[in-house]
Amino acid sequence: MPNRFVNVRTALGALALAAGISSFGGAGLALAADAPSVSAQQIEYRQAMYTVMAGNFAPLGAMATGKAPFNAKEAQKRAERVAYISNMLSEGFPPGSNQAKGTHTHAKPEIWSNRAEFDKLMKNLQTETAALVVATRTGDEAKFKPAAAATGKACKACHDKFKQED
Ligand code: HEC
């Protein structure tokens, strides 16, 4: 019997994740008591998205600052990835995912209490990365550099306000 209960609980958790449901309500919270919480997985999910985005932004930063030679094809590929992920990030911050047992987050609670401002900075990133894609498609380094710098500023603007250091 206890085994069967665990299976049901795991299945519910998987189902909720698959459907993108962020909260079960009271019954769900009780079920999730000693299983990895949905919030912990949401936190890990958004951190993973940021890691992949930063991994693709780093070569762009290197090219924009002259630490790596400009390569138009490479710049376009990386810019498209950064832009793609920037459109997914909001999904990583559903209500109730501001903290979770067993996971450390650098997301400030103000994201959820000042959502309009956070969304504005997210939209700003999406606008700048879309412009970066357009710039890299020209193959023109002179157009690429300011667009990469503007994207970097969009990252920093949000980190300054909504990301804590440790
Ligand atoms: C609208 C807000 C916002 C924007 C824009 C933003 N970030 Fe972040 N970033 C965050 C927050 C909040 C966290 C902390 C997430 C957490 O720990 O739960 C974070 C975390 C990160 C992390 C750490 C991930 C980890 O493994 O813990 C990296 C790397 C990162 N961001 C890079 C970037 C880069 C590069 C850009 C721009 C291309 C960017 N971010 C734009 C808000 C933002």
Between the CA of 8 and the centroid of ligand 1 the distance, in Å, is: 34
**Domain containing residue 49: CATH number:** 1.20.120.10
Q: Quick one: 26 and 46 in the same domain?
A: no
Q: Global pTM?
A: 0.83
Quick check: CB of 158 below 6 Å from ligand 1? yes
Query: 146: closest CA among 71, 88, 60?
Result: 60
**Full domain range(s) for residue 24:** 1-35
Same-domain check for residues 95 and 129: yes
CA distance 40 to 42: 5
Whether the CB-CB separation of 75 and 144 falls below 8 Å is answered with yes
> Looking at the structure, do residues 26 and 52 belong to the same domain, yes or no?
no
* 70 and 112 share one domain: yes
> φ, ψ for residue 71 (rounded to 5)?
-130, 110
Is ligand 1 within 6 A of the CB of residue 40?
no
pLDDT band at 87 (very low <50, low <70, confident <90, very high): very high
Ranges 26-30, 41-45, 79-83, 147-151: which has the least confidence? 26-30
Which of 163, 164, 165, 166 most suits a substitution to test ligand 1, by most atoms within 8 Å of the C-beta?
163
Are 137 and 71 in a shared domain? yes
The number of domains in the chain is 2
Question: Do 31 and 112 fall into the same domain?
Answer: no
Cα distances (Å, whole numbers) of residue 85 to 7, 75, 108, 110:
33, 16, 21, 22
